[in-house]
Structure 1
Amino acid sequence: MAGGSAIRGSRVGAGPMGEAERGEAAPRVNITYYCANGHTVRPSFAEESGSEVPEQWDCPRCGFPAGRDPENPPAPPKVEPYKTHLAYVKERRSDADGAAILDEALAKLRERRIIV
């Protein structure tokens, strides 16, 4: 006698399929969204979900936002490049401000005789 499963030849989830086992499906409505790359997305929502249908949906092909107006899809998000700490400091201060702060810090160090 070979060892094995008590339910031989089955797999998980096997069994009769249909509405009787799962219950009736909720009525659905398909909404069409259009992205800036020309892709079309049609997710389905329950008619009686009680929630409103979103104005934008993420396109699964390119990741850009998709809107409901085919003539005017939403613009792709503007991605700003990574900035270093020095870049942020340079945005806040001019070169003259930086030189003044450096001179002030050097004067304080010279007073304490750390820098000669």
Structure 2
Amino acid sequence: MAERTLRGARLGGQSFEDERGIEFAARQQVGYRCAQGHEFEITMSVEADVPAVWECPRCGLEAESTAGIEREVKAEKPQRTHWDMLLERRSEKELEEILTERLELLRGGEIGPAHLHRANQRKKKAKA
């Protein structure tokens, strides 16, 4: 088995293939400039969709294309609040009825935290 190995070859080393007769893909240079003023170029395929922004290799900020390519502006949906979702399920009239019912139960001591009702229970016992 030792006689089959290539002597002098190393992992990650040089390729023994020749570049003659190989046709490279068409390329283009795309320029970018960041807010710090760093300018750099990226080599891309001619067929590639060129992004409007690229991370600056020097400072890490977003760099914009010098070719005038604009960013896509995505339409953002307004954030739905709890109230909006509640109104999808119930009308305001229904909500008012539920609120009135729950407030009566709370004031009557049937629901809610016990510490709120201890004072009411003491008053009832003192009256009796």
TM superposition score category, shorter chain reference: 0.3 to 0.5
The higher-RCO structure (CA 8 Å, 6+ apart) is: 1
Higher-Rg structure is 2
TM-score (norm 1): 0.47
- The structure where helix makes up a greater share of residues is 2
| TM-score for both structures, normalised by structure 2 | 0.44
